[in-house]
Amino acid sequence: MDSEKLNEQWRAISAQVSSYADMDASQVSAFFSRLEPQAMSDSFLMLTADNDFIKSWVEQHYVEPIQRALRDLTGVQFVVAVAVDPTQEARKAASATVTAPAAGNAATAPAAGAVTTPVVPPAPPATGAAATPAVPPAPAPGQAGALGRATPLPPSSPMGTAPLSTAPQPYMPPYDEAAVIDHYSPQPAPEAATGGASRPSCSTSSLTFGNFVIGDSNRMAYSMAVEVAESPGRSPLNPLFIYGKSGLGKTHLMRAIQNYIEETRPGMRTVYADSADFLSKHVEAARAHDREKSSYKDFKTYYEEADVLLIDDVQYLQGKTQTLDIVFQLFNTLTAQGKQVVLSADRMPKNIGIDERYYSRFSAGGVIDIQPPEIETKLGIVKSFADEYSRSEGLGNFTLASDIQMYIAENSSSNIRELKSAVTKVIYQMMLFNRADMTVEEVRTLLENHFSGGPSRNLSIEDIQRAVESFFKVSRSDLVGPKRSRSVVYPRQIAIYLCRQLLDLPYNDIGKKFNRDHSTAMHSVASVEEMLKDNRGVQEEIEALQKIISEYSE
């Protein structure tokens, strides 16, 4: 497809995305102006961004809307890939300096008397030097409105009247093609089929022990992870099983173990596997077995030859009997050889719907939970992430005001991903619109619908206690008092469980509100989780209470 046709189709896609009610047209225009289409076929679109920040933001917030626009315009489901082309911004700048004087039309010429600033492309990096990602330039005062105008297209846009070209235009370096395929391929080939047994593990250098923020909620898990990284295979912590709700840092600790071992023990082979990806590769290897007898053996060998095997989110495998059996075989083979196994899940082993022989073996070593972070830990994460972002983007002494940091820490849920995305959103707003002086009131407006939990939802432990008291006809003095009769203990356990689920507070904080300690709160939650497995009456009571409590937060 020629570049003119490709750019025309990209403009049509951009206009379609901007037209959606749930999209901010000014932000779409600002970000899409930093993207360039590189190749397009009947079901694939390749885009490049000029730096890692733009790439990451587009992947997180705009790939799905782009796919939706392509589906609306063509009726075809597309795979959309984004790569970084560090030369892109320089080429645009150089092109602007060459073409602007020659354009000579009223639409592009500066107004009479306007002061123009020549655009100078940055010097190329020295030979052998790593290219530094470009920092998105802040617009000059008065330019924000221009960023918000989407380019209108005539009704006869070719995107709506002609099928897409079926001849893909190959994209040339610089970009890591293997990484793009791994990230976007809906059905990645199993390692065995691609010579995976000889490939090195994919390190995630940004997730290390050094940038893991430690607090009371995760200190023990952190200590155990460090001990495993320093002495992999030692029996007291082999296997290590880390559990906790999504977004609390389980994957961070697993990747930190992997990176530490790869850095300090290069002779050891580490393999990290997400359970969903492991399942996909297992199914693919089993299907390929009839065509290629060695495929299944190669699949197992890839994991059996690991010195350290880390499997994330094993709760995803409940009900997947054959895949669980393979995991169990790998587990027994590796631990018998003194090799380290690390597992993670969103719940303790016995609460995963798996056979007893699995969870009893998974619990044979160290089992530790990560609790929701306290305000102090969340504040530390906000500061750490803002500093890390500032360094990676070359922003010098950029900082977030202390009241903005505290607002984000107090209002975010326990999910660290949500907290970090809030920080990124605020920093982006400051950079894009040159607003380093944003106030906490402006941040509150910006993040009004961002947080899924926290105080901004106006729900408290007292609200949950009040709802439970009314539902079960017990008094506050009984609910938080010393009584241990069934008629009081059961509502108390339900209330503590709901506090944990709806507020994401640490066990200790919840326990204090019921005049109980940390261990009692943990036991209450575990008891209710056990009852929920097969007791429909308990399930219905929880559902009814959640509906009642939801009215308090509206």
Residues tagged in the binding site annotation for ATP: 247, 249-251
Give the span between the Cα atoms of 202 and 254, in whole angstroms: 13
| Strand 340-345, strand 240-243: pairing | parallel
Residue set of the binding site: 247, 249-251
Q: In what order do the strands lie in the sheet with 79-84?
A: 35-40, 44-49, 79-84
The dihedral of CA 511, 514, 520, 526: what is its sign? negative
The H-or-E segment that residue 456 falls in is none
List CB contacts of 479: < 8 A, sequence separation 6 or more: 465, 468, 469, 488, 491, 492, 495, 514
The DSSP bridge partners found for residue 242 are 344, 368
| Strand 44-49, strand 35-40: pairing | antiparallel
∠ CA(327), CA(332), CA(338), 5° rounding? 125
Give the span between the Cα atoms of 86 and 157, in whole angstroms: 31
Give the span between the Cα atoms of 414 and 410, in whole angstroms: 10
Give the span between the Cα atoms of 412 and 420, in whole angstroms: 9
**For residues 248 and 505, is the Cβ–Cβ distance under 8 A?**
no
Cα of 430 vs its chain's centroid, Å: 22
Q: Which two tokens stand for residue 260?
A: 């530490």
